[in-house]
Amino acid sequence: MDIQTKCIHGDGAAYDTTGAVSVPIYQSATFAHPGVGRSTGFDYTRVQNPTREHLEKTVAGLENGVDAMAFASGMAAIGTLLELFSPGDRIVASDDLYGGTHRYFYGISVKNGLSFDLVNTSNLDEIRAALTPETKAVFVETPTNPMMQVSDIAAIAGICREKGLLLIVDNTFLTPYFQRPIDLGADIIVHSGTKYLGGHNDTLAGFLVAGGKEVAERLRYIYKTVGPCLAPFDSWLILRGIKTLAIRMEKQQETALLIAQWLTKQKKIKAVHYVGLPSHPHYEISKRQASGFGAMISFEAADAPTAVRLLERVRLIRYAESLGGVESLITYPLLQTHADVPEEQRLKIGITDRLLRLSVGLESAGDLISDLSAALGE
């Protein structure tokens, strides 16, 4: 079945006899047993709920995984993921990570005995050099947030198989519509479902998708024990969002390319980071492992005052955190998404007071360009 059809119909299961086209919201904390030792398949919503099960099967199907777990946020998903590891374990991770992930690694997991080796995961030699006998996994964002670096998933999967490591890929930016890391050898996929999967900036969600049965069972045990599950109503909202994922991703990407091309011609813009530009250093890798480039752009203003002026002058584009929704949002990573990343690390990867991150929405490309042009004073 084509992925566009999968987005609309999910796993195809029906949970009632009414003929409802929209999956019902089972707003129930618990479920009655038909008899001793018997179950309807649902006992307690922390463990499973019919609305959430439909969502999880839908996301697992889109990613070609064996199972998916829906969480109350992307960070709840990452927190659960890290419970797979024990004190003394090391994880090699992209040095250009979402600031919240970096904060969780160093603010929570380090005190619990985990260690992290941050490298440029676009460079296979750096990954190999960082591996130790204590390394248990490689954690990759691709494209990275916010510098839009791309890692070769299949090549890294080969290294991980050779060393017996888990490969974890954050697929938030491209979604399964454009990129399916399990098909390329990844073991676990992470999503902030708040972003493109939901698509409307109206709810929080996160996902872990397992590529194999063993890791799925381990994650399920942690999931039901820790209890960070997504509520039934929010599960329904994400299901509603996924129905339009395909058409949104195509349109947002189309507009993003036009804006990225326009930005490259502006005197007050020093650099544009968009994987869909042929000038991007990882353009060919992107074409090989993904069917699209997404709608995230980072760009560097000529100086800090220009960056701040643009943020304060945009009107149609909203100066706000988050991404992936129908509304275009612009973010200042230095003060927002990456504020908790140490300055030395920020500067090393290029997060300066000139850098801005733009999530392109569904507005007219002409209107968005006019808004940016007016804000730049062009």
**Do the domains 247-376 and 3-242 match in fold?**
no
Statement: residue 11 has pLDDT above 80? no
| Predicted TM-score of the model (pTM) | 0.96
Distance CA(189)–CA(215), nearest Å, equals 12
> Is 128 labeled as catalytic in the residue annotation?
no
Listed in order, strand segments (DSSP E) in 262-354 are 269-273, 296-301, 318-319, 329-331
Query: Among the options 98, 104, 177, 196, which is catalytic?
Result: 98
- Report the 10 Å Cβ neighbour count for 38: 7
> Is 223 labeled as catalytic in the residue annotation?
no
Q: Give per-residue pLDDT as tens, 350-377.
A: 999 999 999 999 999 999 999 999 999 8
> Is 90 labeled as catalytic in the residue annotation?
no
Query: Among the options 6, 90, 180, 195, which is catalytic?
Result: 195
Question: What average pLDDT does this structure show over 98-111?
Answer: 96
Distance CA(281)–CA(272), nearest Å, equals 12
Statement: residue 24 has pLDDT above 80? yes
Query: Among the options 46, 220, 270, 313, which is catalytic?
Result: 46
Secondary-structure class of domain 3-242 per CATH: alpha beta
Query: Among the options 67, 170, 234, 371, which is catalytic?
Result: 170
Query: For the CA atoms of the chain, what is the radius of gyration?
Result: 21
Q: For residue 168, give the nearest of 148, 153, 146, 152 by alpha carbon.
A: 153
Range from 14-28, 121-135, 190-204 carrying the lowest mean pLDDT = 14-28
> Is 195 labeled as catalytic in the residue annotation?
yes
pLDDT at 378: 61
CATH number 3.90.1150.10 given to 247-376 = yes
pLDDT at 70: 98
pLDDT at 84: 98
Q: Give per-residue pLDDT as tens, 291-350.
A: 999 999 999 999 999 999 999 999 999 999 999 999 999 999 998 888 888 888 888 889
Tell me the domain boundaries of the chain. 3-242, 247-376
Give the confidence band of 20 by pLDDT, cuts at 50, 70, 90: confident
Return the half-sphere exposure (C-beta side, CA atoms, 13 A cut-off) of residue 159: 24
